[in-house]
């Protein structure tokens, strides 16, 4: 089962130094490609470096609304609204259900943000994340595998009980897959194949690494 993370930020300074381990763990979980999105001209060189060093990474050089001046932000919103009316893709974080054509469904993690609100035992955590409870932080191995707090005196059952600052691991796209498949009432295998092909098609522009294989 192949997965394609359509939106993440592996260049984020909170996780950049851990990128090799994060990528390997996510790949072991079935992720074949990652679209790494720059948020301003300040991090585009990091996105470029990651794409040059990892065949699995598709670079995306963008401007996040938070990085724009008020005037430019207004223009960006107007442009985006007009653009979205013509081309709408659903990049699912497991937060909402929208009626969209099946050929517009993508999966994303938005890592290191947007930790899925799943059971702790099903999640992957970022090694060294100081926002985690001490019990959970101490149990995380160097491979950042999923961890349980079943033996802790302070039991944490699901991610909603964790700090909002908890880092999201790109391997948690499996949790997104599980949730969205149940929401759409299709199998995980069907959703994985559907979203993978949709994302490949979207990012198969002229010069794309996907067309060089």
**Cα–Cα distance measured from residue 179 to residue 177, given in angstroms and rounded to the nearest whole number:** 6
List the one residue out of 110, 115, 108, 130 whose CA is nearest residue 180: 108
Confirm or deny that 9 is annotated as ligand binding.
Answer: yes
d(CA 113, CA 169): 8
Number of Cβ within 10 Å of residue 82's Cβ equals: 9
How far apart, in whole angstroms, are the C-alpha atoms of residue 161 and residue 109? 19
7 marked as part of a ligand binding site: yes
Residues of the binding site for a divalent metal cation: 7, 9
Binding-site annotation: residue ranges: 7, 9
């Amino acid at each position: 089962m192949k997965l394609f993370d359509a939106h993440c930020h592996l260049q984020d300074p909170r996780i950049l130094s851990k990128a090799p381990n994060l990528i390997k763990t996510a790949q072991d979980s079935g992720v074949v490609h990652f679209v790494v999105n720059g948020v301003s001209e300040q991090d585009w060189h990091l996105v470029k470096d990651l794409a040059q060093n990892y065949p699995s990474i598709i670079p995306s050089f963008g401007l996040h609304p938070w990085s724009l001046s008020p005037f430019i932000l207004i223009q960006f919103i107007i442009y985006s609204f007009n653009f979205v009316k013509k081309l709408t893709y659903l990049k699912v974080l497991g937060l909402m259900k929208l009626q969209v054509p099946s050929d517009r469904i993508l999966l994303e993690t938005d890592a290191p943000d947007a930790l899925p609100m799943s059971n702790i035992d099903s999640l992957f955590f970022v090694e060294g994340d100081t926002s985690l409870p001490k019990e959970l932080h101490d149990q995380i191995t160097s491979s950042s595998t999923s961890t349980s707090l079943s033996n802790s005196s302070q039991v944490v059952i699901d991610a909603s009980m964790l700090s909002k600052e908890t880092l999201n691991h790109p391997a948690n796209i499996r949790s997104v897959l599980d949730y969205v498949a149940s929401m759409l009432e299709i199998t995980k295998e069907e959703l994985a194949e559907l979203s993978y092909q949709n994302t490949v098609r979207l990012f198969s522009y002229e010069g794309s690494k996907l067309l060089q294989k």
